[in-house]
Structure 1
Amino acid sequence: MTTTANEPLLVAESVTKVYRTGQQEVVALDELNLTVWRGELVAVMGPSGSGKTTLLNCLSGLDDIDGGRVLVEGRDLFAMSDHERTAHRARSMGFVFQSFNLIPVLDAAENVELPLLLVGVPAREARERAVAMLDKVGLAGRAGHRPNELSGGEQQRVTIARALVAGPAVVWADEPTGNLDSAMAAQVMDLLRRLNEDEGQAIVLVTHDDGIGHSAGRLVTMRDGRLIRDEIRAPAMR
Structure 2
Amino acid sequence: METMTSDRVLLTATGVRKIYRTGSVAVTALLDLDLTVCHGEMVGVMGPSGSGKTTLLNCLSGLDDIDGGRVVVDGHDLFAMSDAARTEHRARTMGFVFQAFNLIPVFSAVENVELPLLLVGRRSRDARRRALEMLDRVGLSHRVGHRPNEMSGGEQQRVTIARALAGRPAIVWADEPTGNLDSAMAGQIMDLLCELNQDEGQTIILVTHDFAIGSRVPRLIRMRDGRLVEDLHQRGLAAGADTDLHSG
Q: TM-score, normalised by structure 1?
A: 0.95
What's the counterpart of residue 33 of structure 1?
A: 34
Q: CA offsets per residue over residues 167-220 of structure 1, 9 Å max, x none?
A: 001000000000000000000000000011222221001101111111101000
CA–CA distance in structure 2, aligned partners of residues 200 and 114 of structure 1: 24
After superposition, residues 214-225 of structure 1 pair within 5 angstroms as: 214-225=215-226
Secondary structure of the equivalent of 1:179? coil
Other structure's SS at 1:65 match: coil
Q: What is the rounded CA distance, in whole Å, between the counterparts of 1:35 and 1:6 in structure 2? A: 11
Partner Cα separation in structure 2 for residue 82 and residue 199 of structure 1: 31
TM-fit CA distance, 1:232: 1.1
Whether the 8 Å contact between 2:7 and 2:39 is mirrored in structure 1 is no
Structure 2 alignment gaps of length 5 or more: 1-5, 236-248
TM-superposed CA distance for 1:61, in Å, is: 0.2
1:77 to partner: Cα distance: 0.3
SS at match of 2:9: coil
Per-residue CA deviation, residues 53-105 of structure 1 (Å, 9 max, x unaligned), is 00000000000000000000121000000111011001110000000000001
* Structure-to-structure mapping, 1:225-236, within 5 angstroms: 225-233=226-234
Aligned residue in 1 for 2:188: 187
Q: Distance in 2 between matches of 1:79 and 1:137?
A: 36
Q: Distance in 2 between matches of 1:196 and 1:60?
A: 19
Give the match for residue 198 of structure 2: 197
Q: Which residue of 1 aligns with 2:18?
A: 17
Moved more, 192-201 or 45-54: 192-201
1:62 matched to which residue of 2? 63
Three-state SS of the structure 2 residue aligned to 1:208 is coil
Give the alignment's Cα RMSD to 1 decimal: 0.8
Q: Which residue of 2 aligns with 1:162?
A: 163
TM-score of the pair, normalised by structure 2: 0.91
Q: Which runs of 4+ in 1 moved over 6 A?
A: none
Secondary structure, counterpart of 1:215 in structure 2: coil
In structure 1, runs of 5+ residues without a counterpart are none
Equivalent position amino acid for 2:225 in 1: D
Matching residue of 1:93: 94
Q: Show CA shifts across 1:15-40 (max 9, x none).
A: 00000001100000000000111111
Letter in 1 for 2:172: V
Mapped partners of 1:75, 1:154: distance in 2: 34
Equivalent in the alignment of 1:124: 125
- Give the secondary structure class of the aligned counterpart of 1:117: helix
Q: Could you say which residue in structure 1 is the equivalent of 2:48?
A: 47
Q: Does 1:138 align with 2:139?
A: yes
The alignment-based identity, stated in percent, is 70
Aligned counterpart, 1:103: 104
**Larger CA deviation: 190-199 vs 16-25:** 190-199
May I ask how many residue pairs the two structures share in their alignment?
Answer: 230
Helix, strand or coil: the match of 2:172? Answer: strand
SS state at 1:9 partner: strand
Q: Distance in 2 between matches of 1:21 and 1:55?
A: 19
